[in-house]
Structure 1
Amino acid sequence: MMTKAEVTQGRPIRSKGFAPTLSDSEVLTMEIVAEYQGIDTDQAIWQYFRRHWLAWFPGLRSRCAFVRQAANLWQYKAMLQHHLATRLGALNEPVHLVDGIPIPLCGFSRAPSCRSFKGVAAYGYCAAKKQTYYGFHGHLLISATGVITQFSLSPANGSEREALWEMVHSIHGLLVGDKGYLSTPLQHELRQVGIQLETALRANMHDSRPPAWVALLKRLRRLIETVIGQLVERFSIEKVWARDQWHLTSRINRKLLAHTVCRWLNRFSPNPLQFEQLVAA
């Protein structure tokens, strides 16, 4: 499919220290397979493969070594995910969709006493769930074929419009968003870089667009809702289970990579987002 040099761009993964007993490809394989099965914490992944697949991964030793090696691969998970998305042609597609994912750090009642991510996490409001929460806000960009092309993480009170600029540098054409991206100045600015932003309107606004066009936008919106549903339900992206940005970044990148690998393996299927078909009973 691709070589290690292609993914790492010729840069060494580690420059000092002893070589790990597990290869990096073994660690990535374990993480992706576990994520597909709904096993999403570092400890649970280590326990699962120690209990069931140690003969296949004899280099799997201590839990701490596994967790550290997996976290050290955070940037290579992102690079591999980007490489797969590029190979799938997602970046060159003329239609993309954007939406947000609330990622609470803890229960709302525990927020005042939460010590993790001080100065990074914040209070925010999720319109879909009609509730205030404490934590982060994920910003997801996908192609019209359901391939993840960009992801950005901000405090829960971060601006969706500012985060959008971090993600659209490599796309062009139609961009479909929800009401959070509704802004005439933003539409004009995006148009200058070859992006046509279309969003849902508020209930008290008159929509002069053709009904057929509005209906098409609604159908497109269902696609990103499907992808977000998969990230939440199968890959548990809303659960933090980390105490620092290093491990949180690695954890999120693992989930985005696992979703993209599933999409890659399913690329010839009539329903490429039906991941249940990847494993026969």
Structure 2
Amino acid sequence: MKNLVELYCDVDDFCKVFIPQWQKQLLEDGTNKRQRKGQMSTSEIMTIVVGFHMSHYRDFKNYYLGHVSTFYKCAFPNLLSYTRFLAIMPRVLAPMCAYFSTLKGKPTGIEFIDSTSIKVCHNIRIPRNKTFKDIAQRGKGTMGWFYGFKLHLIVNHHGEIVAAKVTTGNVHDTQPVRELATDLTDKLYGDKGYLSKALEADLSEKGVTLITTVRKNMKAKAMSLWDRAMLSKRFIIETINDQLKNISYVEHSRHRSMNGFMLNIISGLVAYCLKKNKPSLNITDVERNAMIIA
């Protein structure tokens, strides 16, 4: 996506199909009693939110006032004030989740799983954090203790996100795997944090082979050369986690609501899915066939 106009066209095509069905469902189940159009459409709001995560701005205020209001005023003639836009942003959370589900990649038989911490504040500010009180939890990752949530991802060898889930920081990495791996086939590669005989057996019943590294005090596993090679290429998902944090900007400490936090995560994932150049493994068809034979 080169600019907000191109992004808007893609988002608007999705909204033309999704919004009428969604609004009909809200009326039928009693969630909404009426449908009143806002000054800005859902497509416009989603475009601006995703556009922020595709830009190089580090805070939304400077992006909205310094970029959108300056260069795209003609493209968005009904542009709201900054404070009003912040107030209506959470309304697009459901459409954004649905949009993300249409952008996810498909399983290829070579998937990688990992989790990354999503900190909501510095450790010394935990007692003063009111936004996530009784919601966020302390957890421990490779970089030490943190307060917040975990983003669990499964990606294929093309660098596409196949499944994603957000949990609190104290949830063990193995807990959401069964749900995330529902549609997978063949091989799933993870680090030693996913060591679990029970999990391995459950996934095996579904046709998924979980392959992990081992701890230093454990005996080496017998595995094929292909599986060893794929385990050594787990850097792909670590690279994706790094890009989500430092480019798509899914992690910051200025959230003022849980809905805003979730919208920030989902729109960051959407921005990554729309990237043209994703980190990927150059695996040829010959190599894939050799894996199947092995």
The C-alpha deviation readout for 1:205-243, integer Å capped at 9, x for no partner, is 222334723532234311101111110110122224313
Counterpart position of 1:225: 238
For 1:62, the aligned partner's letter is S
How many residue pairs get matched?
261
> Do the aligned partners of 1:31 and 1:45 also contact (CA within 8 Å) in 2?
no
Q: Which one of the candidate residues 10, 18, 31 is aligned to 2:21?
A: 10
> Do the aligned partners of 2:153 and 2:165 also contact (CA within 8 Å) in 1?
yes
Offset at residue 17 of structure 1 (A)? 5.4
Offset at residue 107 of structure 1 (A)? 1.0
Offset at residue 178 of structure 1 (A)? 1.4
Q: Which one of the candidate residues 11, 18, 21 is aligned to 2:39?
A: 21
Counterpart position of 2:130: 115
Say what the alpha-carbon RMSD is for the aligned residues.
Answer: 2.3
Q: State the secondary structure of the residue aligned to 2:103.
A: helix
For 1:156, the aligned partner's letter is G
% identity of equivalent residues: 22
Provide closer, same or farther for how the CA distance between residues 167 and 44 of structure 1 changes in structure 2, counting only shifts above 3 A.
Answer: farther
Counterpart position of 1:79: 98
Alignment of 1:62-77 (within 5 A): 62-77=81-96
Offset at residue 41 of structure 1 (A)? 4.2
Query: Is 2:207 the partner of 1:189?
Result: no
Q: Which one of the candidate residues 206, 209, 213 is aligned to 2:219?
A: 206
Alignment gaps of 5+ in structure 1: 275-281
Query: Is 2:119 the partner of 1:104?
Result: yes
Superposition TM-score, scaled by structure 2 size: 0.80
> Do the aligned partners of 2:173 and 2:193 also contact (CA within 8 Å) in 1?
yes
Offset at residue 53 of structure 1 (A)? 1.8
Separation (CA, whole Å) in 2 of partners of 1:240 and 1:178: 28
For 2:183, the aligned partner's letter is S
Separation (CA, whole Å) in 2 of partners of 1:137 and 1:223: 18
For 2:90, the aligned partner's letter is A
> Do the aligned partners of 1:146 and 1:224 also contact (CA within 8 Å) in 2?
yes
Counterpart position of 1:91: 106
Separation (CA, whole Å) in 2 of partners of 1:164 and 1:45: 36
> Do the aligned partners of 1:141 and 1:151 also contact (CA within 8 Å) in 2?
yes
Relative to structure 2, which stretch is displaced further, 207-216 or 145-154?
A: 207-216
Provide closer, same or farther for how the CA distance between residues 139 and 149 of structure 1 changes in structure 2, counting only shifts above 3 A.
Answer: same
Relative to structure 2, which stretch is displaced further, 35-44 or 117-126?
A: 35-44
Counterpart position of 2:267: 254
Provide closer, same or farther for how the CA distance between residues 63 and 182 of structure 1 changes in structure 2, counting only shifts above 3 A.
Answer: same
Alignment of 1:123-142 (within 5 A): 123-127=138-142, 129=143, 131-142=144-155
Separation (CA, whole Å) in 1 of partners of 2:200 and 2:208: 8
> Do the aligned partners of 1:8 and 1:79 also contact (CA within 8 Å) in 2?
no
Separation (CA, whole Å) in 1 of partners of 2:168 and 2:159: 25
> Do the aligned partners of 1:30 and 1:45 also contact (CA within 8 Å) in 2?
no
In our comparison, the structure showing a higher alpha carbon Rg is: 2
Alignment of 1:160-179 (within 5 A): 160-179=173-192
Offset at residue 100 of structure 1 (A)? 0.8
The C-alpha deviation readout for 1:79-136, integer Å capped at 9, x for no partner, is 1111122xxxx33421221111111121111112222211111111112x2x111111
Superposition TM-score, scaled by structure 1 size: 0.84
Query: Is 2:50 the partner of 1:39?
Result: no
Separation (CA, whole Å) in 2 of partners of 1:40 and 1:80: 24
